[in-house]
Amino acid sequence: MKILIPGMDGYIGWALTLHQLSLGNEVCGLDNFSRRKNVDEMNSHSALPILSIEKRIDYLEKKFPGKFSFYEGDLLDSHFIDDVVKRFSPDAVVHLAEQPSAPFSMIDQEHNIYTQQNNVIGTLNLLHSIQRHVPNTHLVKLGTMGEYGYDPGLEIAEGFFEIEFRGKKATIPYPKLAGSWYHWSKVHDSNNIMFACKLWGLRCTDIMQGIVYGTRTHEITNENEFTRYDFDEAFGTVINRFCAQAVTGYPLTVYGLGGQTRGFLALVDSIQCISILLENPPHDGEYRVVNQFDQQYGVRDLAEKVQKVGKTLGLDVTIQTKENPRKEMEKHFYQADHEKLKKLGFENTRSVEEEIKLILEDLLEHKERIESKKDIMFKGIKWNKK
């Protein structure tokens, strides 16, 4: 299979590229390196050292001769993406190239507009190029469980649900009640993708992905293969942040009551799920939505899990409640369907505790990189700043 991966240089993109090349597929990556720049802006860096893009390209070209190509460029440049899609003519596109941080989008007006523009216009450019040059290709787009919002007060369906209103029944998209500018950009993407499927007969899988954590996949076996691992307030996801805090003796930062419940999955399983979906494409014109997560946990429960696993490694982990800078419910009902991937064969690779242990072991090897940036651990980016 020929797979185009916009966002190849990112946390998931690099790991997915290694995996797909290992399977014998041909991969073309593209990236504008905005993740590296945005983490710099937060005055942080990846806890695990990663190769420069030049070294990454060199590494992949040597390890997988004739199977890998790369283009530097921006999805906002419609001529650039059009040219790449036309030249590479992919069987599938896994679109990861977005600004993925809710707190980053909430910093101020500029960061909101940047996020909306980058994500929404980038996806539209890609859709138009696919329609023009490879209308039968399978677009796999990374959205987020956060599109539904976390407190709809009902169980969350997998994309669509049946409703009865004034005596008539219909199957319609499950309502989206996102809670940050970033999450709304993903909702807008989903609407645009759904319409493109209807209008042009494209086939797309829109993944409502849970929060990803972890350092390892089957293909990450040495330091050259490390994927980035961020722990700052904007780009570190919650388990990854807690683990980075744990290895440096920084109290785990639980916001408010810590009852915020979310779906989670390990990086190795995110890669597994995307790969399963690539092997099982939707039919022409189908807009398929899958909820991609393994288990749901409350934030405080996760902090306690990290504390418990940390203890087995001799770490003295404390938990500190912080005033919640976000506008969100701190305790709520949450129950989301996630059956489609299981039906296609998804099984988790490890338990969350086993994964946390691996993360802590990997981070302990590079503890000084986190210690050197300890002052950026909590800035309190506010959701309702004027």
Residue number with the smallest Cβ distance to ligand NAD: 10
Interface residues for ligand NAD in 197-256 (CB under 6 A)?
209, 211-212, 237
Question: Which residue is associated with the tokens 């942040």?
Answer: 241
Residue list 95-114, contact with ligand NAD (CB under 6 A): 96-100
Spatial distance between the Cα atoms of 377 and 241, rounded to a whole number of angstroms: 8
Residue 100, CB-side half-sphere exposure with 13 Å CA sphere: 25
Quote the tokens at residue 318: 């404390």
Asked if residue 317 binds ligand NAD (CB under 6 A), the reply is no
Cβ proximity to ligand NAD: between 124 and 252 the closer is: 124
Report CA dihedral (256, 258, 263, 265) to the nearest 10 degrees.
Answer: 110
* Residue 144 annotated in active site: yes
The DSSP output letter for 330 is S
Reply yes or no on whether 115 is catalytic. Answer: no
Which residue has 């002052």 as its token pair? 375
Euclidean distance between the first and the last CA atom of the chain, given in angstroms as a whole number: 49
144 vs 248, which CB is nearer to ligand NAD? Answer: 144
Does 74 interact with ligand NAD (rule: CB under 6 A)? yes
Whether 186 contacts 146, CB under 8 Å: yes
d(CA 196, CA 182) in angstroms, rounded, equals 21
Centre a 10 Å sphere on the Cβ of residue 295 and count the other Cβ atoms it contains.
12
Span of 28-36, 63-71, 169-177, 363-371 interacting with ligand NAD by CB under 6 A = 28-36
Binding flag, residue 269, ligand NAD (CB under 6 A): no
Q: Which of 144, 215, 227, 261 does the annotation list as catalytic?
A: 144
- Under the binding rule (CB under 6 A), the answer on residue 294 touching ligand NAD is no
Query: By CB under 6 A, is residue 9 in contact with ligand NAD?
Result: yes
Nearer to ligand NAD, 101 or 137 (CB): 101
Interaction site with ligand NAD (CB under 6 A): 6-7, 9-13, 31-35, 74-76, 96-100, 118, 122, 142, 144, 209, 211-212, 237
Active site residues: 144, 182, 186
